[in-house]
Structure 1
Amino acid sequence: MTTWILKGAAVLALLASQAAAQTTLRVATDSGPEGSPSGNAIARWAEMIEEGSDGDLEVRVFYQNQLGGQLEVFDLFVAGEVDLMLSWPSTSYDRRIGVLNAPYMVTSWEEALAAYQPGGWVNATLNDVFADLGITYFGAWPEGFAGVATRDRYALDIASAEGLNVRTPPFFPIPQTLQAMGYQTAAIDWSEVFTSIQTGVVDGDAGNVIYWDYEYFGEILDYYVRTKHIFVTGNLVANTGTMESLSDEHQALIRDAAVTIMEAQFVEARAEDERNVQIAIEGGMEYFEPSIEELRPMIEAVRAEVWPLMEADIGSEIVGQMRANAN
């Protein structure tokens, strides 16, 4: 009996030590419910971390709105209550985060991957920005290049954009970017876009990949022009304090898993975007994708007018990096 008691005590002690050794991490996204592309991404990230750590790391997953709104979740993240995020962060913490909205910073998928992956110039720039907030940046989670969707008429150059009034997200410098491209703009909340187009308050929507414009406004919009003025992307990030509390091995595991998620999304998002283009065309939307040479006058106008405006927010050093790497 004594032997069995001793053995039982040993098992309990072992289980207790194993439980104590296990670290629980929290991963969240501020945009995407369970089953959505972004929701699936954080679930996969959690799975890769748990499997790679042989159970030493447990990862709890929280989807959009499960921990609060966008700003609330980011507050928890900065405070260390959330450890990992797929985030579309607000500039309320640091105006330099606005570099994510910088127009014509990259103009092709290949250029974007080279810039946003570890070792790329955008990756290094964003790491510097986020570091001051106690955040480690791993890489982009792209959705694709934005365009302008309109009804009745469309624009392929600055001159033909005159008189077209388009909705833009209310984030600097997106309205200024569209104005430099020749459009009139109105900053309108997403929930009011359909009614605004339907009633003629605006002629269309600017700032989204084609999926959103066709899925939500396809019945009232006729054209989509892929202007590529913004590369729309989320961000795979970690709380730096959390990272530093982990072993080097576990830090590398989290980082490598994030990079794997990023690289997979560059492939999947591009393919998904191409599928959505075909769906929109089959649904009756006319699609245009001007070449970079055709877009060049818009690109040069935006860089000349908008990039100097950004220096006050994101700093001359970052804008200098943008100029140095511009194609």
Structure 2
Amino acid sequence: MTILYVMNTSSSFCNPQGVFKTSLAASDFLVGAIILPSAAFNKIFVMFYPLPENYLSYFASTENSTSSVFLGMLFSICMSASLFSLMILAVDRMLAVHWPFKYSQGSLMTRRRAICLVIATWCLSVVLGVLPLGDTKHFSYSLDYMTMSTMLEIKPHFHGSNDPSVTHGLFFVILVFILPYVCVVAITTITWLKLICARTTPCGTCKGARIFTSSTSSTAGQSLNRDLERVTLTIFIMVAVFTICVLPFLAAQIENLAMAHEQSREMTSRGCNPAFYMISVELLYMNSLSNFVIYNLRNDFFKKELRSKIKLHCC
């Protein structure tokens, strides 16, 4: 909420990068304002009102209920929007590094284009969040009995080696999370390597080094380079933190699907290690807080604007 307030009330963030970061902050805010409190409420409720002996039937009754669909779909939409926002941030940095002067002049990425991209990513996230409702035989939004969080569940049907739900689940995970994540990592890595190449390679040797070398001939060019490097490093850190927070959850989901596929012939149901799964979900929630910490540590304009807003309201 703090990031949204500062970015929408400060002229320093009225640029494409500010639009993309506002989108990322919006997804984090929705997770922190709605998803986390609901999970915390469920955990506290169970502490004071223990579940009945047939607790599995209780969790089964939450399958695709109104609250489960709302919370689970919202969580899925926010995760997709967060990932897609990171992707367009990475693409934005790649454009800024490869064509710094055109980008600084606003000919490559305008605020209007940035807003259109953000709207498109949120529409795509909504479509991906609604998509499982069209296949309730293999997918459902329900309350998870280990983490007390509402999320998308893949329902394996143990009726033979060719379990279509496992195939559908793997396809959904790959399409919604793994492919965009690989794109984000690839684009960010290429952009960062381009920056390193431009700094360390003599003019003309590295493609793009000539641009950075020529831009350092003036004070404005040196300032442009420093800003590019700092912002690109910030995106790199955000992607690294996102990896630490989200990759364990993806690994747990893939492990669950792999085990379901392997054990479908045995007519049994097992998943990954419960402790690992619970930790992965907690890390997934922590990702929503990480961006606020990164903004405070890395963005001088954000810190300055935040201090000025606090002083304004305190005085």
TM-score scaled to structure 2, two decimals?
A: 0.26
- Higher normalized strand content (fraction of residues): 1
TM-score scaled to structure 1, two decimals?
A: 0.26
- Higher normalized helix content (fraction of residues): 2
